[in-house]
Structure 1
Amino acid sequence: MQATIGACKLELVTGDIIRQATDAIVNAANSRLAGGGGVDGAIHRGGGPSIMEETRRHYPQGCPTGDAVVTGSGKLPARCVIHTVGPVWEGGQNQEKSLLASAYRRSLEVAGAQQCASIAFPSLSTGAYAYPLQQAARIALHTVATYLRLHGRPDMVRFVLFDDRTYEAYADALAATLSENRCR
């Protein structure tokens, strides 16, 4: 599924984020930037030890929830990896919505600072961090669409979704986001 927002392209695909040849891929990192499972583990395994060495050297204090930092990509086809920390779901009473939106926004800001024309995101916080998928998809797409409308960059944002269930949640959220914007 694709959409155009201003001069920017937003697309949804099912696939493996470590195979994306975009300027940047986004890592669903933990706050210690210590590697882990899921997307984080796949990126570190695929990119090799240079990514972990760089995070330890440049970010010894880690990365706060809702923020983002950048490293090289090691052996991955992307030019760089943007590590962002989404919130752990705690019932929605601990600023999870604003922290998740911030993780997407900060990733886009870091991509802009790196002059990235394209970026690929996973579905942040919906795996081990247990954020409800439909809610997370709406927040992700609303945040990214708003950023693209305001800033007109990057040229292309791709959501690389792990399975059909996640893809469908994001497709529904994208349709709703586009419909909302037509009504304003």
Structure 2
Amino acid sequence: MNTVTVHEAPSVEIVRGDITTEQVDAVVNAANSGLLGGGGVDGAIHAAAGPQLREECRKLRATRLTGGLPTGEAVITGAGRMPARYVIHTVGPNRHAGQTDPALLSSCFAESLRIADEAECRSVAFPAISAGVYGWDVEEVACIALEVARSARCAHVRLIRFVLYDDRALAAFERAADRA
């Protein structure tokens, strides 16, 4: 008898909150290519996770990612002191540096979901990748993020939660959800 794995679309939630406190299997970090922390979501995740996360990222940089994590790709680590089990780091495109291809942003969401599914995560929390200091319009980020989430077919991920830090991002994601 052959066994068939059913790949279903996860459910999608949009909430306002602090991604570092999410009770999910994995949170996605809008990281920089150096993986050693920064501002915004990246800094908040590193602060909440504690020194264990920084050490794991240092090891990745010293071994597999000596040149840093490329834009649009993702890598997984433990979550340190955060309630999540994992942090999935992805580097969003930086509009200010001329990275304007929506496929790069789409890849951030898709690669993060792929890695979460491979790690058998059932729930994943995402921020609005590249909508902060990387200069992407939050409306465009919301449309791309929700398109990837709705087209995802996962064996394990059952919930994708977009956790937005402010009312402006929350409203953009809600508008994008209403249009779809």
Q: Give the TM-score, by structure 1 length.
A: 0.87
Asked if residue 155 in structure 1 is aligned to residue 158 in structure 2, the reply is: yes
2:173 maps to 1:170: yes
Residue matched to 2:5: none
2:58 pairs with 1:53: no
Q: How many residues align?
A: 169
Q: Distance in 1 between matches of 2:91 and 2:99?
A: 15
Partner of 1:65: 71
Q: Please give the alpha-carbon distance, in whole angstroms, between the structure 1 residues aligned to 2:141 and 2:112.
A: 16
2:13 match: 11
Q: How does 1:30-45 map to 2 (within 5 A)?
A: 30-45=32-47
Aligned to 1:181: none
CA distance in 1, matches of 2:69, 2:36: 10
Contact 1:44/1:52, CA 8 A, preserved across alignment: yes
Query: How far did residue 36 of structure 1 move?
Result: 0.2
Residue 22 in structure 1 maps to residue 24 in structure 2: yes
SS of corresponding position for 2:95: coil
Cross-structure match for 2:3: none
The answer to whether the aligner puts 1:81 opposite 2:87 as a matched pair is yes
Q: Is the 8 A contact 1:29 1:83 kept in 2?
A: yes
Q: CA deviation at 1:151?
A: 3.3
* Aligned residue type for 1:103: C
**8 Å Cα contact 1:88-1:96 kept in structure 2:** no
Shift of 1:90: 4.4
Distance, in Å, in 2 between the alignment partners of 1:7 and 1:139 is 16
Aligned to 2:4: none
Asked if the contact 1:66–1:99 (Cα under 8 Å) also holds between the matched residues in 2, the reply is yes
SS of 1:54's equivalent? helix
Counterparts of 1:96 and 1:151 in 2: how far apart (Å)? 25
CA RMSD of aligned residues (A): 1.6
Distance 1:7 1:88, change over 3 A: closer
Q: Tell me if the contact between 1:105 and 1:143 (Cα under 8 Å) persists in the aligned partners.
A: yes
Given residue 118 of structure 2, which amino acid in structure 1 is its aligned partner? A
Deviation at 1:59, TM superposition (A): 3.3
Distance in 2, matches of 1:155 and 1:28, equals: 21
Q: Which runs of 4+ in 1 moved over 6 A?
A: none
SS in 2 for 1:12: strand
* Percent identity (aligned): 45
Give the conservation status (yes or no) of the 8 Å contact 2:10–2:154: no
